[in-house]
Amino acid sequence: MREDRIMTEVGTNEWQVVVFTLGDQSFAINVDKTREILRWTGVRPVPQSHPAMLGITTVRGEVIPLIDLRIYLNITPAVPLEQSKVIVTEFNQMKLGFVVDGVERIYRIHSEELDATLTGTFLGENVLYVIKRDERNILLLDYERIVQVVNPQLAGQYQVDSTRMHGAVSDLGDLDQYKILVVEDSPLIRKMIQDVLAKGGFHNVEAVSHGKAAWDRLCDEGEAFDLVITDIEMPKMDGLALTKKIKEDERLRNIPVIVFSSIMADDIKKKAQSVGADGQITKPEIEQLIAKVGELLRKRREVGSKNHEGTASLG
């Protein structure tokens, strides 16, 4: 699996997806979320679980849950369970297996190929994008949302201790003076980040669904953002390309950028560092995110104060 991956240059808006089938429909998942493709592994049921949660299996000594995407999406299987394939994934600091009919190949795609015009309407909340390839429509799912629906307890990972959170930002004064831009394509995660920031006292928060919209807002005349929190995997412009553009722009380069992504393998971390990201936090480490927000805003304020003092002394 890993040997088949195609290397993509950082900041080019290019990434790779594994294409698989459920019934007669093609779907995709980011290669950076996947670890391996297996034949049917067998399963041990878990009582009182979601219908799509088939149970648990053991892969290379690790126990992982198995989610049947056909059951979750109400799609009639094209093959018997014993002939199904298991896509072993790792994101949000957890491993799990998605059960599918078959796996095709890896495609190299550009972020501009992701069409979100029907998301949340005709395609429902589980589909983020449509990828048009080979005269067919390939659907890219919101896997973070699917996992949280199957296991609602995971939503608790985005809850934080109020006392610790306020302690991380208590010396920053009025938090509404700081304008934060959140760039996240998953509606569920976007709202969770906004809710946590609001709980911490940050109410001057704007959220957009992709890097191009974020770049447009940052370039709007008269706008001044104090910090950017961005996902990586997004349409039109991904988070690494956005970060690269910010750090190469003379007017914007001093704005701190935190990459907050479900995929933080070593190669992704190196890419984020190479484009100048000021912080890298893996979902769902929301407390670490708040602590990093406080640290970077504090540093930005201190630099601003020194620059002001230097200008005053010259005068």
277-280 long-range contacts (CB < 8 A, ≥24 apart) are 277/243
**What are the beta bridge partners of residue 15?**
109
Distances, alpha carbon 287 to alpha carbons 24, 88, 92, 300, in Å: 42, 27, 14, 20
Looking at the structure, do residues 111 and 32 belong to the same domain, yes or no?
yes
Q: How far is CA 226 from the centre of its chain?
A: 21
Looking at the structure, do residues 144 and 8 belong to the same domain, yes or no?
yes
CB-hemisphere CA count at 13 Å for 120? Answer: 8
Which residues, 6+ apart, have CB-to-CB distance to 196 below 8 Å?
158, 159, 160, 165, 286, 289, 290
Task: Kindly state the average pLDDT of the residues 268-293.
Answer: 87
pLDDT tens track for 118-167 = 776 777 889 988 988 878 899 999 998 899 899 887 666 666 666 677 77
pLDDT tens track for 65-74 = 999 999 999 9
Burial 156-165 (b: 16+ CB within 10 A, else e): ebbebeeeeb
Looking at the structure, do residues 148 and 172 belong to the same domain, yes or no?
no
Looking at the structure, do residues 203 and 270 belong to the same domain, yes or no?
yes
User: Residue for token digits 């005709």?
Assistant: 122
Residue at which a domain ends, from 133, 152, 171 = 152
pLDDT tens track for 208-220 = 989 999 999 999 9
Give pLDDT, residue 172: 85
Query: What CATH number has the domain bearing residue 88?
Result: 2.40.50.180
Distances, alpha carbon 45 to alpha carbons 66, 83, 136, 211, 312, in Å: 10, 18, 36, 41, 70
pLDDT tens track for 165-210 = 777 787 888 888 999 999 998 888 888 889 888 888 889 999 998 9
Looking at the structure, do residues 97 and 220 belong to the same domain, yes or no?
no
Looking at the structure, do residues 15 and 76 belong to the same domain, yes or no?
yes
Taking alpha carbons only, the member of 197, 175, 198 closest to residue 258 is: 197
Q: What is the CA radius of gyration of the chain?
A: 21
Residue at which a domain ends, from 118, 152, 186 = 152
Asked if the peptide bond before residue 51 counts as cis, ω within 30 degrees of 0, the response is no
The answer to whether the beta carbons of residues 257 and 277 sit under 8 Å apart is yes
Looking at the structure, do residues 118 and 102 belong to the same domain, yes or no?
yes
How many other CB atoms are there within 10 angstroms of residue 73's CB atom?
18
The answer to whether the beta carbons of residues 259 and 11 sit under 8 Å apart is no
Alpha-carbon gap, residue 87 to 146, rounded angstroms: 15
Looking at the structure, do residues 14 and 134 belong to the same domain, yes or no?
yes
The range of the structural domain enclosing residue 277 comes to 159-314
Looking at the structure, do residues 63 and 113 belong to the same domain, yes or no?
yes
User: Residue for token digits 């009182």?
Assistant: 48
Looking at the structure, do residues 278 and 302 belong to the same domain, yes or no?
yes
Give pLDDT, residue 153: 78
The answer on pLDDT for 5 being more than 60 is no
Looking at the structure, do residues 8 and 136 belong to the same domain, yes or no?
yes
Distances, alpha carbon 51 to alpha carbons 24, 46, 138, 173, in Å: 22, 10, 25, 48
How many domains does one find in the chain? Answer: 2
Query: What CATH number has the domain bearing residue 304?
Result: 3.40.50.2300
- The mean-pLDDT minimum among 62-76, 259-273, 290-304 falls in 259-273
